[in-house]
Structure 1
């Protein structure tokens, strides 16, 4: 079997939202995999440890959203990732798909379930946020992780990316330098993404409690107990509000559950999509 690489799974598609890059491999029920908002993030960087195994059972589409990776640059206040995801499905002829989203991608996944429930078969998030009063999270200001994320855009360097990896992961171990370098090189190749990110936050429409309660997709919510970007309190809120949902809380895990606990993550997702 040919080894899966970024290059041999790389694809592009033209959408009304712009040129979108994605990595595609596998056959079966579609999994649309959406990355977070960190500097240098791409579909491949967020889901590289998962694609090979999951593609044995599913058609995997790891998408670079506009403003990230090899996709078209876009000013922050013009981003609408739910609309881009819908255009992506229409262009590729995907009638229904499971959505797998990390952080910002998790918010897109949830909002897609609110706006287009007939096109979403499953809702899977890692480190997704939720609105409402914080009882024991990070208080009213930005979390330590979000501050480090923004600094990565403002002061891109290997050093700031190492700081980013340290705050995103509970313990990146031997992958620490590789992850930091991948992030730095991705952002350095497209500095316009940093400029656009800092220009505006985009259309991050937080769903209301009533909208969350109206979601009908079966939902798997995964959160790290040690997440310093988005407190696991958000996972507790989401599982309390989304009717057909379950929460997996992982100890010794930060914001990148799919990277830090890849084997367990792959098993959870494969079983969930197959049996729900």
Structure 2
């Protein structure tokens, strides 16, 4: 059986990288979160089909995640993750792209836009880290995950407001992804306790965030137990050209819990960009 999480392969910043490349048009780069067993496909499987009707959608597994290589003794840091994103764009000869960052991926999107402003067009930040906040119990549980189906089921309950969306089958699939060779070893090395320091490490300086000129759509679930709503409220205050959409009865999985509405938000936001520039 073909694994849909495995797509194409390219060497980005020296790292053999698994990615998905679907559709045609202006490129949109999707950057996943940092949950255990995550991959670009698992994170964006319901977003890619909608966006790819109008855009070229690119969704890489960031180094340390999914089916991208995990170099031995690799230093998992903001600097290196940003280099991986830019290396990925360079490898595919993409000069500039819209970017959509989920959670951890939101922090990477902000950092990339700050360091390489000429490479990033519009930004979507969904349940994004990137500001300083007190470590939540939910995020501590996510980063402190140790493999078991029960632990994965508990994590999925934290991610979703509506527990009926969390099936035993989904928990089993994500658990199996989290125990692939080398996965837990690299994952446990990324965010070891005490974990407040990693929240802070993912945060960009507020003075720098204020300099962002990108048109930015900020999306958050009101009941998010992983990244607090206050993070997105602060980003909306700091980013000059920002709009904020908060989904009620929604946890950390906006793109899964409110798929159609989320996809329409993105498409309208990116299409507005085209109309403004026409």
Shorter-chain TM-score above 0.5? yes
**Which one is further off, 72-81 or 61-70?**
72-81
Give the match for residue 113 of structure 2: 113
Q: Any gaps of 5 or more consecutive residues in structure 2?
A: 192-197, 274-278
Judge conservation of contact 2:110–2:130 (CA < 8 Å) in 1. Answer: no
* Partner residue of 1:198 out of 188, 197, 202: 188
Q: How far apart are the structure 2 equivalents of 1:224 and 1:85?
A: 26
Shift of 1:77: 3.2
Q: Describe the shift of the 1:216–1:253 C-alpha distance in structure 2 as closer, same or farther (beyond 3 A).
A: same
Matched, 1:244 2:234: no
Alignment correspondent of 2:64: 67
**1:162–1:184 CA distance, 2 compared to 1 (3 A):** same
Is the counterpart of residue 181 in structure 1 residue 157 in structure 2? no
Match of residue 41, structure 2, among 44, 55, 69 = 44
Deviations 1:203-248 (A, max 9, x none): 9442111111101111000000000001101111000000101110
2:194 alignment partner in structure 1:
none
Residue 212 of structure 1: which of 209, 214, 228 is its match? 209
**1:77 lines up with 2:75 in the alignment:** yes
- 8 Å Cα contact 1:45/1:182 also seen in 2: no
Change (3 A) 1:218 1:181: same
Q: Equivalent residue of 2:228, what SS?
A: coil
1:94 equivalent to 2:121? Answer no
Give the SS at the match of 1:189.
Answer: coil
SS of residue paired to 1:77 = coil
**Distance between the aligned counterparts of 1:18 and 1:239, measured in 2?**
34
TM-score (structure 2 length as normaliser) = 0.88
Take 1:127 and 1:37, find their aligned partners in 2: how far apart are those partners?
12
Give the C-alpha shift of residue 54 in structure 1.
1.1
The answer on whether the counterparts of 1:99 and 1:123 sit within 8 Å (CA) in structure 2 is yes
Give the conservation status (yes or no) of the 8 Å contact 2:136–2:227: yes
Q: TM-score, normalised by structure 1?
A: 0.89
What RMSD, in angstroms, separates the aligned Cα atoms of the two structures? Answer: 2.0
Q: 1:178 to 1:117 in 2, by over 3 A?
A: farther
1:81 Cα deviation (Å)?
1.4
- Separation in 2 of the partners of 1:275 and 1:36? 26
Q: Does residue 46 of structure 2 align to residue 27 of structure 1?
A: no
* Cα deviation code 1:46-90 (max 9, x no counterpart): 011111111111111111001011001145634421111101111
Distance 1:250 1:78 in 2: 32
